[in-house]
Amino acid sequence: MKKPSFYLATIMLTGLSLMMASCAKDDTTAPIITLNGDSEISIDLQQPYVELGATAIDDEDGTVTVEISGTVDINLKGQYVITYTATDEAGNIASEERIVNVVNSADLLAGAYTNAADNCNAGGPATFNATISASNTQNGKFSISNFGAFGTSVSVDLTYNKQNQTITATGGQSLGGGAVLTAVTNGQLLSQSPVSFSIGYTWIDSGGATDFCTSTYTK
């Protein structure tokens, strides 16, 4: 009588093992990760990056922990990738990515201007070409090459304030040939499409004579 019992127990254990193995193999579905917020966001240079996080749900295990990797350098303009990974108890892995663009708020001003115009009290209007470059490390900072038609080797550093859409610059910047920029006033973004802005500025030449001019830059 013992022999049949032994075989019955063996069969039951074997069946249970096969059933457990079958259940483990059946779970081949990875968790579903849902990002909090958009999959691509932009922040200005020097502004804090706030991690929005993500959630993960598995069809077998329910809520699963999400691991986050990647860094954002808020002091360097560029595109950064944050990766979100979740693993269920069966070892199925899911991942999602968020792109974080670190930008300069003055980026909209950058580019070539082929129809800039300058009008001064001491002279008539003139048209010229200029190039604007936005800083990679300082938010709102940009430079204009050939500022006010003073020459392609002349570059002036300015600051764009996104909140009130004004443009300012510090005095004392060289305009070449002994000329010096003394002040920038009434700098204002006029339009974003097409990009257009104006700058009123005062300068002094090498002989000490001063003049007030207004430059208008339109892409």
Task: Give yes or no for residue 22 having a pLDDT over 80.
Answer: no
Domain with CATH 2.60.40.10 in the chain: 29-103
Contact indicator for 102, 45 with CB cutoff of 8 Å: yes
Domain with CATH 2.40.128 in the chain: 105-218
Q: What is the pLDDT of residues 87-138, one digit of tens each?
A: 999 999 999 999 999 999 999 999 999 999 999 999 878 999 999 999 999 9
What pLDDT does residue 26 have?
A: 85
The residue ranking higher by pLDDT, 24 or 136, is 136
109 closest CA partner among 138, 134, 137, 135: 134
Fold of 29-103: Immunoglobulin-like (2.60.40)
Q: Which strands, in side-by-side order, build the sheet including 54-58?
A: 32-35, 54-58, 62-64
Q: What is the pLDDT of residues 63-84, one digit of tens each?
A: 999 999 999 999 999 999 999 9
**Residue located via tokens 């502004």:** 47
**Whole-number Cα distances in Å, 62 to 56, 59, 85, 132:** 8, 6, 15, 53
Q: Which CATH class is domain 105-218?
A: mainly beta
Q: What is the value of pTM for the model shown?
A: 0.83
Task: Give yes or no for residue 14 having a pLDDT over 70.
Answer: no
